[in-house]
Amino acid sequence: MRSPLRGTPIRAHPLMLLFPLAMAALGAGGDIAALAAALAVHESFHLAAARLLRVGVRQLRLMPFGGAIDMENPYVLSPGQQLGVAAAGPFGNLAALVSAAALAHWGVLPPRTAVALVRSNLVLMLFNLLPALPLDGGRMLAALLSHRLGRDRAAGLGIALGRILAAALLALAVWAWIVRGKLNLSLVLCAVFILAAAPEERRALSNLEIETMLNALTPPGGPIPARICAVSAGCPARVALRAADPRALTLYAVYDGGRFSGFTDDRRLLEAALARSPNAPVAAADPRRSPLAQANTA
User: Does some domain include residue 27?
Assistant: yes
Residue 1 has a pLDDT of 37
**Which domain-ending residue is among 148, 179, 206?**
206
Residue 245 has a pLDDT of 72
Residue 32 has a pLDDT of 72
Residue 54 has a pLDDT of 85
Both 166 and 238 in one domain: the answer is no
**Which domain-ending residue is among 164, 179, 206?**
206
Structural domain harbouring 55: 10-206
Both 95 and 65 in one domain: the answer is yes
Both 189 and 225 in one domain: the answer is no
Q: pLDDT of 81-91, one tens digit each?
A: 889 999 999 99
User: Does some domain include residue 213?
Assistant: no
Residue 293 has a pLDDT of 43
According to DSSP, residue 57 is labeled E
Running along the chain, 298 residues long, what does each successive block of 10 average in pLDDT? 54 63 58 79 88 80 63 73 91 95 90 90 92 90 89 87 93 90 79 81 67 60 76 83 74 85 81 73 73 44
Query: Angle at the Cα of 93 (from 88 to 94), degrees rounded to 5?
Result: 95
pTM of the predicted structure, to 2 decimals? 0.68
If phi > 0 it is left, if psi is from -120 to 50 it is alpha, else beta; for residue 111 that is alpha
Both 95 and 234 in one domain: the answer is no
Residue 166 has a pLDDT of 92
User: Does some domain include residue 23?
Assistant: yes
Find out whether 197 and 133 touch, Cβ atoms under 8 Å. Answer: yes
Both 272 and 181 in one domain: the answer is no
**Which domain-ending residue is among 206, 236, 255?**
206
CA distance 241 to 227: 12
Question: Is-cis flag, bond preceding 225, omega within 30?
Answer: no
According to DSSP, residue 31 is labeled G
Q: Three-state secondary structure along 213-264?
A: HHHHCCCCCCCCCEEEEEEECCCEHHHHHHHCCCCCEEEEEEEECCEEEEEE
Tell me the catalytic residues: 43
Both 264 and 194 in one domain: the answer is no
Residue 96 has a pLDDT of 95
User: Does some domain include residue 211?
Assistant: no
Residue 208 has a pLDDT of 61
User: Does some domain include residue 68?
Assistant: yes
Find out whether 96 and 44 touch, Cβ atoms under 8 Å. Answer: no
